Structure 1
Amino acid sequence: MEKKVEILPNLEALIERGLEIVLQKIQTSIEKHNRFTIALAGGSTPKPLYEAISQQNLPWEKIHVFWGDERYVAPDHPDSNQRMARLAWLNKVPIPAENIHPMPTNSGDPAIDAAKHEAELQEFFKVPVAEVPKFDLILLGIGDDAHTASLFPHTPALSVRDRLVTVGSKDGQPRITFSVPLINQADCVMFLVAGAGKISALEQIFAEKADSQTYPARLIQPSGELWWLLDESAGEKLKSEY
């Protein structure tokens, strides 16, 4: 794993740097295998990044968009990660509809929808059941509790190693989420973290020793590159090291 940490002066600079990296990954992946696969994060921090990507002139027919997790709500619900990304980015560009791969949330049973999405991933990446697909880029954020995707502290989803997609839970509300092995198989994982509210979580995530069940983002150790882009408020306590 190649870990890179950058502390940027503010959110605007963080988004600008994030855009540079995304565009570079798009170019490299398309040159290498004629397509680019990205899994998106929810939350407020990546929204301006999606808006910035929507302003680019890109080979949209070669870009495939997935989500790392989704709240178990309808696609038009205000809390939907899919809805946010469509409004900020996907509805604004001529990307083919079949290149957008949202997590299903309509069966009434999150476990059924998680299994369905797992089958979709296996079919799309053409991997055998025992293998883990490799995304070009997975975007992640963290919560004040150090969760990432919908991998929340002390929940069963953290221990899932035999599935690509599983059911997460926050305060009793189900979510669908990529599993730890699927995230860790990525060619590149990039965390975008902003705000002073993330300082204590980052301290534990970056600590030499801490409990991964309590601070789930510690479980993210991808086989490829690991980027942490922090704004100055979030990275305050880490400045001396990076």
Structure 2
Amino acid sequence: MNAHDVKSADVVILPDAEAVAHHVAHWLFKLALAKTDGPFSIALSGGSTPKRLFELLAQRYIASRFPWQNVHFFFGDERHVPVDDPASNYAMSHAALFEHVPVPPENVHAMPTMGTPEEDAARYERELKTFYGADTLQAGRPLFDVVLLGMGADGHTASLFPRQPVLKDMTHWVSTCVPDDAPHTRLTLTYPAIHSSRHVVFMLAGEAKADMFARVRRGDDASLPSSHVTSEGDISFVVDQAAARDVVSEDLVSRDVV
């Protein structure tokens, strides 16, 4: 039975961050190859663990066989900074992945950051709707095949930060967020856009993630943005042993997500 929320999500525990990145890289490779009835769409995450994932996807063993022509890369969130800013998720993914592989430029959908945050969020939402072919998300026809997510020490995911109005936005697909405990105005997918997915995968590594992962997994704190992530498909946590430190193994449904 598919798990549609974080409390019932599958959990895969691996030795370390390198194993997490390898696991997800090979899973994405197999999943992308299997998609033959249309384009394969993925929303990328920022952070050190996804960066290693991107580097692995760029290695010849995978890159030479990955179906780049059929894969469309979107972004789960972005800091509203120039595309060459060190804080840019796009800049990181370009340096780690896109400049090394034969992905068509039109298949990489960076979040725009040249206008106002509100204008750019609306522009990216229009781009998603054009790709999707409809202005309304439809049950049974997910926008994304995969949404990759991380989790911050405050429980945020993508740029869905605590205490911010975006958490209540159930209309837009893309919105803005101005965190009160982190730098930069952000663009982010909203909960409805994330929900319209076949697979949501949280990638977590390190002891710094342990406490928050355990709290989100219990689902007993409604103030944590990650606790409210759902998918019309399935949700999985792929974590290393350090991040899983505070989670009781008996409470998990541990299995391979491949």
When normalised by structure 1's length, the TM-score is 0.94
Distance 1:185 1:202 in 2: 23
CA distance 1:87–1:208, change in 2 (3 Å): closer
Is the Cα contact below 8 Å between 1:158 and 1:180 reproduced in 2?
yes
Quick check: 1:102 aligned with 2:110?
Answer: yes
2:18 alignment partner, one of 12, 21, 25: 12
Is the Cα contact below 8 Å between 1:25 and 1:137 reproduced in 2?
no
Distance 1:28 1:168 in 2: 35
Structure 1 runs (4+) greater than 3 angstroms displaced: none
Aligned to 2:92: 84
Aligned to 1:23: 29
- State the 1:28 CA deviation: 2.3
Amino acid at match of 1:78: P
Is the Cα contact below 8 Å between 1:7 and 1:239 reproduced in 2?
no
1:215 alignment partner, one of 224, 234, 237: 224
Is the Cα contact below 8 Å between 2:137 and 2:196 reproduced in 1?
no
When normalised by structure 2's length, the TM-score is 0.88
- State the 1:166 CA deviation: 0.3
1:116 alignment partner, one of 123, 137, 141: 123
Distance 1:34 1:183 in 2: 19
Q: Give CA deviations for 1:124-177 in whole Å, capped at 9, x if unaligned.
A: 1101x2325520011000001110000001111111000000001223631000
Q: Give CA deviations for 1:96-123 in whole Å, capped at 9, x if unaligned.
A: 111110000001x101100011011101
Distance 2:82 2:184 in 1: 14
Could you tell me which runs of 5 or more consecutive residues in structure 2 were left unpaired when the two chains were aligned.
4-8, 253-258
- State the 1:239 CA deviation: 4.5
Aligned to 1:229: 238
Distance 2:179 2:57 in 1: 30
Output the aligned Cα RMSD.
1.3
Aligned to 1:176: 187
Amino acid at match of 1:116: R
Could you tell me which runs of 5 or more consecutive residues in structure 1 were left unpaired when the two chains were aligned.
none
Amino acid at match of 1:91: E
Aligned to 1:152: 161
Quick check: 1:75 aligned with 2:58?
Answer: no
**Greater relative contact order, per chain length (Cα 8 Å cut-off, separation 6+):** 2
User: Number of residue pairs matched?
Assistant: 236
